């Protein structure tokens, strides 16, 4: 299976084009502004490296879902950039490629680049088929995991239907997984479990209190108010955290906490110096 290098060929075309048309541009910014038009001109021109097909039409002649997904994998294996035209062709054929992409993601040994490409295409299809795969990936995720982060973003776009499944699985996750799944749950208030998890992290992760105060505000459960008031009053609470906690209290229907003197707080001093 041949894997034409679209990026390499476009760079060759671009270099030749700019050498020929250098005098047409007053400066670098003018050239940058024209780049999309140059690219589209190339996309719609027949190319020798594609046996006379245009880059925009080359993959349109193929409608075998397995072949197209396998082709994408071959590009990744050869470490050649996967053409966006191939990705578009796969995305516009969900009936033939959706299940194959999900199956591909079940193999965690594939490269992160290939994982992220497949996740992006499934999201483009608005597919909820990989819902449980994405949730279960969070149960053992690392703190830094680009593919798992993309899965969380996709779960968020799937709507409220993901909530029940997340609640059934979240207890089996480590802290990194719980935090990631909690980020989705906060988009859909109503879960007592999400509120309790958020309260727990608010108490334990003092360096991230501003984040969890925002989560509690989204979840809309006023049972968090006593804890938020207590933390707002604490001398150890810095100015930035205080502001976020105060915002959360007001979002939950509470009265603003009493004002405090932050004149010695380095965050307060830094912010005032920028005004």
What residues contact residue 198 under an 8 Å CB cut-off, 6+ apart?
182, 186, 212, 215, 216, 219, 224
* pLDDT at residue 131 greater than cutoff 70: yes
* pLDDT at residue 113 greater than cutoff 80: yes
Q: How far apart are CA 257 and CA 259, in angstroms?
A: 6
Give pLDDT, residue 1. Answer: 76
Phi/psi of residue 143, nearest 5 degrees: -60, -45
pLDDT band of residue 75 (cuts 50, 70, 90) is very high
Higher pLDDT, 82 or 274: 82
* Mean per-residue pLDDT, 175-196: 94
* Mean per-residue pLDDT, 105-111: 93
Give pLDDT, residue 143. Answer: 83
Q: How far apart are CA 244 and CA 251, in angstroms?
A: 10
* Mean per-residue pLDDT, 181-205: 94
* pLDDT at residue 95 greater than cutoff 70: yes
Token pair belonging to 55: 């880059």
Give pLDDT, residue 275. Answer: 66
Averaged confidence pLDDT in the chain: 94
What residues contact residue 134 under an 8 Å CB cut-off, 6+ apart?
151, 152, 154, 155
Give pLDDT, residue 138. Answer: 96
* pLDDT at residue 123 greater than cutoff 80: yes
Q: Which of 110-114, 138-142, 259-263 has the highest mean pLDDT?
A: 110-114
Place of tokens 């245009």: 54
pLDDT band of residue 203 (cuts 50, 70, 90) is very high
Cα angle for residues 124, 127, 129 (degrees, 5° grid): 150
In tens, the pLDDT along 173-185 reads 999 999 999 999 9
* pLDDT at residue 268 greater than cutoff 70: yes
* Mean per-residue pLDDT, 85-106: 96
Give pLDDT, residue 165. Answer: 96
CA dist list (Å): 246 to 116, 164, 226, 228, 259 = 38, 31, 12, 8, 10
- Mean pLDDT lowest among 18-32, 114-128, 151-165: 18-32
């Amino acid at each position: 299976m041949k894997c034409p290098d679209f990026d390499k060929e476009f760079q060759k075309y671009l270099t030749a084009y700019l050498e020929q048309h250098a005098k047409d541009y007053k400066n670098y910014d003018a050239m940058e502004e024209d780049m999309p038009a140059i690219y589209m001109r190339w996309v719609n021109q027949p190319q020798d490296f594609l046996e006379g097909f245009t880059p925009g039409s080359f993959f349109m002649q193929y409608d075998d879902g397995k072949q197209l997904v396998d082709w994408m994998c071959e590009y990744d294996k050869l470490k050649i950039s996967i053409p966006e035209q191939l990705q578009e062709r796969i995305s516009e054929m969900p009936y033939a490629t959706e299940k194959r992409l999900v199956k591909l993601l079940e193999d965690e040994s594939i490269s992160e680049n290939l994982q992220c490409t497949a996740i992006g295409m499934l999201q483009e299809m608005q597919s909820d088929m990989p819902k449980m795969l994405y949730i279960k990936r969070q149960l053992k995720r690392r703190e830094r995991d680009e593919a798992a982060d993309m899965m969380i973003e996709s779960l968020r776009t799937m709507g409220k239907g993901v909530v029940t499944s997340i609640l059934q699985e979240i207890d089996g996750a480590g802290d990194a997984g719980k935090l990631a799944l909690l980020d989705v749950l906060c988009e859909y208030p109503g879960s007592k479990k999400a509120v309790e998890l958020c309260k727990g992290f608010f108490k334990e992760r003092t360096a991230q209190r501003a984040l969890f105060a925002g989560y509690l505000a989204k979840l809309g459960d006023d049972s968090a108010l006593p804890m938020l008031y207590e933390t707002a009053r604490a001398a150890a609470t810095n100015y930035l955290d205080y502001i976020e906690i105060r915002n959360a209290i007001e979002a939950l229907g509470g009265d603003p906490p009493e004002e405090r003197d932050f004149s010695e707080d380095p965050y307060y001093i830094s912010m005032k110096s920028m005004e």
